[in-house]
Amino acid sequence: MNDIIDKKNILIIFNSLIGVIGGGSRHIVEVSNRWVNSNKVHYLISKEGYNVAINHIGTPHKNKKILLYSTFLDKTRLFHLAYISRTIKSIFLCRRLKKHYNIVIAPNYLPQNIIPAIFMKSDKTKLIVYFHTTAPEQRNQYLKSVNPIKRLFSLINWQFCLMLSKKYFDTIFVINNSTKEYFIRQNISPNKIYVITNAIPYAKIYSIEHHTNKEYTCVFLGRLVKSKGIIDLVKIWSILTIDYPSAKLCILGDGPDREVLENEIRKNSLEQNIVVYGQVENDEKYELMKMSDIFLYPSYYESQGIVILEALACELIVVAYELSTYQEFYHNYLNTVKIGDFQGMAMLIHKIIKNPVDYKRNKENIRNFVSKFDWDLVAKQQEEIIKK
């Protein structure tokens, strides 16, 4: 195909960043950083959101442009108000930008990204949305555990965004087959649903040396929200330290529930046993992960779990809850217990500490498996779909 005809002007509406960059946001940044070699890629993003994403959006490029804006509510700690203000402001901006782009992307299914994108819709402009999550039926156990009002809001939001995606968007990217099957049951054409995968910088991770003396018994990496099982981390560690009083857990990441987590740690007198390291990036993150042999991840639902790929690449023994999406991707590479069984997870870690050799997987097999999840390959796959 002629390069001039094939070149796309892409706009990514990035209204959902507050405090920390999640897996879905990281995904679009990684692939779009590779698209700039053959397309123009612009980000519509608030100044506060850009402060979160700046280290990920990467180095300047002639085909990359940041369209910054601000709102008077952008800095509020009431994130729902910030999202509403960003949505309204970007709708007005999108109406003026409409004629400049032939591809507009909502990097996740949240209203603050989807609604402004709809105002860009035309015969010449195609809309793409990413669903980096699973259907409510697969999140049922977690939804049962949350506040009823929050659960109702979550379900209404899902149905609202699903309806908008079905009606206005030309392409829907999902992370697993079960979500695609769910959408088909909702009468969305299978021709516009594509299953993609997450990826990791495998070569970089592999190049970082392992530590001979392990500083931590386990390490956790993820956004600090309750759905990632961060309260279960404290419960697990309360049980484990009965037999291993010096056991140490390193928690990497940040998020809106960090204060809740730290309060739980103090309440259980585990300040000497649990280190909340905060948000770390690039080499430092992988160096810290390699200071342990066990990756502890009690998340209640995942679309794929990019951090598990990172943990496997670091050659860690992965301990997680038994999720159906893991069966699709990870087969026998994980050690799992039933969802919410934090006591069973503590017992499993206890067994691994006593006999780690019994839980080690073949390194060569893991390397062959993980090396297939490469950002260059994933970006190329999505670019080909976009340009059809």
The answer on 54 and 181 residing in a single domain is: yes
The answer on 175 and 147 residing in a single domain is: yes
286 vs 313: CA distance, rounded Å: 9
Instruction: Count how many Cα atoms sit within 13 Å of the Cα of residue 130 in the half-sphere of its side chain.
Output: 26
Cβ atoms of 193 and 183 closer than 8 Å? yes
Between the alpha carbon of residue 60 and those of residues 31, 41, 280, 317, the distances in Å are 15, 11, 22, 38
276 vs 367: CA distance, rounded Å: 29
The answer on 141 and 7 residing in a single domain is: yes
What pLDDT, in 10s, does the model give residues 256-274? 899 999 999 999 999 999 9
100 vs 120: CA distance, rounded Å: 10
Is pLDDT above 50 for 28? yes
239 vs 298: CA distance, rounded Å: 15
The answer on 221 and 108 residing in a single domain is: no
What pLDDT, in 10s, does the model give residues 64-84? 999 999 998 988 878 889 999
Structural domains of the chain, count: 2
Expressed as residue numbers, the domain containing 167 is 3-199+373-386
Instruction: Count how many Cα atoms sit within 13 Å of the Cα of residue 359 in the half-sphere of its side chain.
Output: 21
Beta 193-195 vs 9-14: how paired, if at all? unpaired
The answer on 225 and 95 residing in a single domain is: no
The answer on 355 and 234 residing in a single domain is: yes
170: helix, coil or strand? coil
Residues whose CB is less than 8 angstroms from the CB of residue 249 and which lie 6 or more positions away in sequence, other chains included: 216, 217, 218, 219, 220, 233, 237, 273, 274, 275, 296
The answer on 241 and 118 residing in a single domain is: no
The answer on 179 and 206 residing in a single domain is: no
Cβ atoms of 178 and 325 closer than 8 Å? yes
The residue count for the chain: 388
Which of 158, 188, 154, 184 has its CA nearest to residue 170? 188
Q: Which residues pair with 172 in a beta bridge?
A: 129, 193
Count, in order, helices (H) and strands (E) of the chain. 17, 13
Which of 307, 340, 114, 99 has its CA nearest to residue 199? 307
The answer on 378 and 337 residing in a single domain is: no
Beta 64-69 vs 171-174: how paired, if at all? unpaired
**The two three-digit tokens of residue 134, written as one number:** 């699973």
Mean pLDDT is lowest, of 185-194, 228-237, 328-337, 346-355, for 328-337
Which of 233, 278, 281, 235 has its CA nearest to residue 253? 278
Res 327: pLDDT: 84
Reported confidence tier of residue 134, pLDDT bands at 50, 70, 90? confident
Is pLDDT above 60 for 4? no
CATH code of the domain covering residue 135: 3.40.50.2000
What pLDDT, in 10s, does the model give residues 101-110? 999 999 999 9
Looking at residues 229-245, what average pLDDT do you find? 96
**The two three-digit tokens of residue 90, written as one number:** 């970007």
The answer on 153 and 270 residing in a single domain is: no
What pLDDT, in 10s, does the model give residues 309-323? 999 999 999 999 998
49 vs 17: CA distance, rounded Å: 5
Tell me the average pLDDT of the chain.
Answer: 90
Q: Give this prediction's pTM.
A: 0.85
The answer on 267 and 168 residing in a single domain is: no
Cβ atoms of 208 and 286 closer than 8 Å? yes
Chain centre to alpha carbon of residue 286: 17
The answer on 210 and 171 residing in a single domain is: no
